[in-house]
Amino acid sequence: MTEPSPPSDAERDMPPRAPRWVKIAAVIVGVLLLVFLVLQLTGLAGDHGPGRHFSGLGGSIAVEHAPGGTAVG
């Protein structure tokens, strides 16, 4: 049987390649980030953010105190 040839100088200096699952995960994360960015820039994602929840309070948060001294609200 023949033995495999020893690696050349160029092959020895290269770091090991990334596994396939790492490449696939990176592509999926990249696509999701791209979709998120496009939705945010086009306005199709909707009106999100802190102003959405507190718009009816005039910019301040009202806190009521319960009889036991704990804050409610």
CA atoms of 68 and 34, how far apart (whole Å) = 49
> What values do phi and psi take at 65, rounded to 5?
-105, 130
pLDDT averaged over every residue in the chain? 77
pLDDT (average), residues 39-50: 79
pLDDT band with cut points at 50, 70 and 90 for residue 20: very high
pLDDT band with cut points at 50, 70 and 90 for residue 24: very high
Give the model's pLDDT for residue 25.
98
Q: Which residue has the higher pLDDT, 55 or 25?
A: 25
What's this model's pTM, rounded to 2 decimal places?
0.49
Sign, CA torsion 39/41/45/49: positive
